[in-house]
Amino acid sequence: MKHFWIPTLLFALSISFTACKKDDSQNANNQPKGDTSQSGKSTSAVVIFSVGDCHSENRKLTLGDSISEKDTLFTGKKSMCDIQILESDAGIVVRIKAESEFRLNSNLTPEGANLNLALKKGSGLFKINQKLAKNQSVKVVLPTMVAGVRGTSFSAEISKKGDVDLQVSEGSVSSRPLISELEALPDELKTNSQTLRTIDASLSESEQVLEAGQKITIPKSYTDKILKDTGLKIVIPQIQESIKKGDLSSATQKLDSISGSAEETKVKIKENLATQTPVKVEKSQEKDIQTQLKEFEELIAIEKQKLDNESSRKTEITARNKTKQETLMKRIEQITGKSTETLILRNGTRVQGVIIQEGDTYHVLTTEGKKSFPESAVEGTEF
């Protein structure tokens, strides 16, 4: 007897499986915007203006290039890089200045997007051109401080000693101390340790809001004193071996028994932090605010929809920079310490910008990026 039902059954199963895959695909495509619970979406940014040496690890960055959470952005001497965050309609633009180190981070959830921008070294300007959505927040993590923002313009500078200066030009910014040595510990440890949770809660309670025209400095010595007074300065090096082995239980136990039992440690930590002198908020010099406001005018955001289209992204960035041609050229002159000239090529082409000669190559720094020409193609230069 021939079993005709077998191929029929296999065909039916094949149709059913294909239909299920199609339904799953449609559900994914129809997933509401902002629902990142399954999409695994991360934060990224695109370079909209740069001068000099801007790179991410071993990759040089130029106009239109993007960076993600996996990248660390570095700037060299006499360099600068402006980036715009792609996952926001608020037009978040960051200017990373010379000899700086910067990273993106985020916590994208169905409820909203919590963007964390980490300036680890150097200095930068932060501008949010439009009001953030209700479900969106932005934090800037610095070596001794966390700044929380909602539509504002402010600057941050990290000294070689690790002190952090923050100055607000427009809007308002919340500021609270941060201990970088604790920030570097594993997330699981920060969640499980009662000591670390107590410190985080106490530092959050010391948050201060800076208005336009105000500034604050949190020196490294301030957070070092907290580490010393709480006993953490001694304990943290002692738990590193446990962390390396993945024995977070042992590390947690040691952190939570600095002053006896876990409850005794918690009480003493709270008492100690309560005695810390609050960091003073000061008034900025008017000339400093005015200088910064002029620089913030350069941080024009591009409509998110235009940046999302990778094929026309560079065209949109070039058009944006042309609207500030004169101002941005002056910024290039200031950074390089050189005046704008015109490079004349043998074919009659004239290229205007800051000219830098390296060996037998001429580089012209323009608002559209660096353009390079071999010496054999150059007729001369003129002011």
Instruction: State pLDDT tens for residues 340-358.
Output: 999 999 999 999 999 999 9
Domain boundaries, the chain: 1-30, 338-382
Sheet with strand 66-68: strands edge to edge: 66-68, 44-51, 80-85, 92-96, 123-128, 153-158, 164-170, 214-218, 281-283
Q: Does domain 338-382 have CATH number 2.30.30?
A: yes
Per-residue pLDDT for 7 more than 90?
Answer: no
Question: What is the per-residue DSSP string for 324-338?
Answer: THHHHHHHHHHHHT-
Instruction: State pLDDT tens for residues 223-233.
Output: 999 999 999 99
Task: State what percent of residues in the chain have pLDDT above 90.
Answer: 79
Instruction: Report d(CA 297, CA 82) in Å as an integer.
Output: 13
List all residues 6 or more positions away from 140 whose beta carbon is below 8 Å from its beta carbon. Answer: 116, 117, 118, 119, 126, 146, 147, 149, 156
Question: What is the per-residue DSSP string for 111-166?
Answer: TEEEEEEEEEESEEEEEE-SPPPTTEEEEEEETTEEEEESS-EEEEEE-TTS-EEE
104-108, 289-293, 301-305: which has the minimum mean pLDDT? 104-108
Q: pTM of the full predicted structure? A: 0.85
| The token pair that represents 204 in the structure block | 């959050």
What is the model's pLDDT at position 88?
87
Instruction: State pLDDT tens for residues 8-46.
Output: 434 444 444 444 444 444 443 443 333 433 344 678 999
What is the model's pLDDT at position 107?
64
What is the model's pLDDT at position 96?
98
Fill in the DSSP letter of residue 345. E
Per-residue pLDDT for 85 more than 70?
Answer: yes
Instruction: Report d(CA 80, CA 49) in Å as an integer.
Output: 8
Per-residue pLDDT for 176 more than 50?
Answer: yes
| The token pair that represents 303 in the structure block | 């409509």
Per-residue pLDDT for 4 more than 50?
Answer: no
